[in-house]
């Protein structure tokens, strides 16, 4: 009996608590209905034309204007080494001399044979014109001259190839062989770079690539020479993008005697040909959503209307507006997070 009374008492208490909660909820709902917001406070500004700075500065790698791997066109033992790493060599300079004793003798023999065959041909040519030799004799002398000339040219080339030369003027950056080494044909024996002129290689985003053209002036700065500006020109802009949708660009500049640059250094390139321009812009804080799917609230007669806008370039805290707004449109820059399309707003002072 006592247990039943306790259970009844608990049921009564729970019923009272539930009733009070339901009553409070109804009071709060009524209060919320009575206090419904008539207009949302917002801060606004205007879409405007503004001069923006189109600075484009990128980091590239400085490379040699010409970088050549010197390859031997003959085979043989190295008997002379005429190049050291760091030496400057004009184009045509001999870097290595291979053993040429046999090639020289073959060249001399081929030369003698050619000179004899040429004299014989000249004699037969004169006799042929006088009709003193047959056609067969004349043709045989002519063929012998041509064969000996071919052998002479080949022997001369093989002899000259024993002198390994550089095809460009530049600095020796690597020497692969030493005195006494045996060199095979097509072996790389040295490396020569021409740094009288330099290239800066970098990649430009597709949105910037079309602002540039071949021949545009640029300024190059390096950490090695703070404050020193190197002037260059755009030498090429690739017509094909890479996998990251950037376009390879090459810049040509003359090396400096007072502040010499080396291949492999980093250079900061400022594209000075891109001019400042006046564009329709809006503050970045007015943006609702992402730049790719941009929206803004435009206030018209106290009503906030959501509009789609097309965003172009980004300039620090400003966004270029390429569509969706006009100069003088009143846009919300603060308070838009609480807004829905066609909500009433009141402008903060």
Of 240, 267, 109, 95, nearest to 169 by C-alpha is: 95
Model pLDDT for residues 159-184, shown as the tens digit of each residue: 999 999 999 999 999 999 999 999 99
What pLDDT is stored for residue 184 in this prediction? 95
What pLDDT is stored for residue 17 in this prediction? 63
What phi, psi does 302 have (nearest 5°)?
80, 10
Q: Where are the domains of the chain?
A: 40-53+277-347, 57-63+194-270, 67-188
Q: Are 309 and 293 in contact (CB under 8 A)?
A: no
CATH of 40-53+277-347, picked from 2.60.120.10, 2.60.40.3080, 2.40.420.20, 3.40.50.1370, is: 2.40.420.20
- CATH number for the region 67-188 comes to 2.40.50.100
What pLDDT is stored for residue 313 in this prediction? 78
Q: Are 281 and 311 in contact (CB under 8 A)?
A: no
Cα 239 to Cα 118, 247, 248, 249: the distances in Å are 55, 7, 9, 10
Q: How many CB atoms lie within 10 A of CB 326?
A: 9
- CATH number for the region 57-63+194-270 comes to 2.40.30.170
Strand 277-283 versus strand 318-323 pairing type: antiparallel
Of 309, 318, 267, nearest to 288 by C-alpha is: 309
Q: At what angle do helices 101-129 and 135-160 cross, to 10 degrees?
A: 160
What pLDDT is stored for residue 39 in this prediction? 84
Residues of the chain with pLDDT under 70: 1-3, 5-13, 15, 17-21, 23-37, 53-54, 275-276, 349
The Cα 348–Cα 330 span in angstroms is 13
What phi, psi does 172 have (nearest 5°)?
-75, 120
Angle at 331 between CA 330 and CA 337, to 5 degrees: 150
DSSP one-letter code for 166: -
What pLDDT is stored for residue 120 in this prediction? 93
Q: Are 106 and 152 in contact (CB under 8 A)?
A: no
pTM over 0.75: no
Domains 57-63+194-270 and 67-188 share a fold: no
């Amino acid at each position: 009996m006592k247990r039943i009374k306790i259970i009844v008492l608990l049921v009564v208490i729970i019923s009272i608590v539930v009733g009070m909660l339901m009553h409070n909820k109804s009071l709060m709902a009524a209060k919320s209905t009575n206090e419904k917001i008539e207009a949302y406070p917002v801060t606004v500004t205007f879409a405007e034309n503004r001069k923006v700075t189109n600075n484009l500065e990128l980091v590239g790698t400085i490379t040699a204007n010409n970088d050549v791997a010197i390859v031997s066109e003959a085979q043989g033992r190295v008997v002379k080494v005429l190049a050291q790493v760091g030496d400057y060599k004009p184009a045509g300079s001999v870097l290595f001399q291979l053993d040429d004793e046999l090639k020289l003798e073959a060249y001399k023999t081929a030369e003698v044979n050619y000179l004899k065959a040429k004299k014989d041909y000249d004699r037969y040519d004169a006799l042929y014109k006088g009709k003193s030799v047959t056609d067969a004799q004349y043709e045989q002398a002519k063929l012998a001259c041509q064969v000996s000339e071919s052998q002479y040219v080949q022997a001369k080339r093989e002899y000259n190839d024993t002198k390994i030369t550089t095809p460009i003027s530049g600095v020796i950056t690597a020497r692969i062989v030493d005195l006494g080494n045996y060199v095979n044909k097509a072996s790389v024996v040295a490396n020569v770079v021409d740094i009288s002129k330099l290239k800066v290689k970098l990649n430009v985003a597709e949105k910037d690539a079309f602002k540039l053209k071949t021949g545009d002036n640029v300024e190059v700065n390096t950490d090695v020479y703070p404050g020193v500006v190197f002037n260059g020109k755009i030498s090429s802009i690739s017509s094909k993008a890479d996998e990251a949708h950037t376009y390879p660009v090459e810049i040509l500049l003359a090396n400096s005697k007072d502040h010499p640059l080396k291949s492999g250094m980093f250079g900061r390139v400022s594209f000075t040909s891109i001019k400042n321009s006046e564009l329709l812009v809006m503050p970045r804080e007015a943006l609702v959503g992402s730049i790719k799917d941009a929206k803004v609230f435009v206030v018209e007669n106290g009503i906030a209307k959501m509009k789609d806008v097309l965003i172009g370039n980004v300039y620090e805290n400003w966004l270029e507006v390429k569509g969706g707004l006009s100069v003088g449109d009143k846009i919300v820059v603060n308070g838009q997070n609480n807004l829905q399309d066609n909500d009433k707003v009141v402008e903060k002072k």
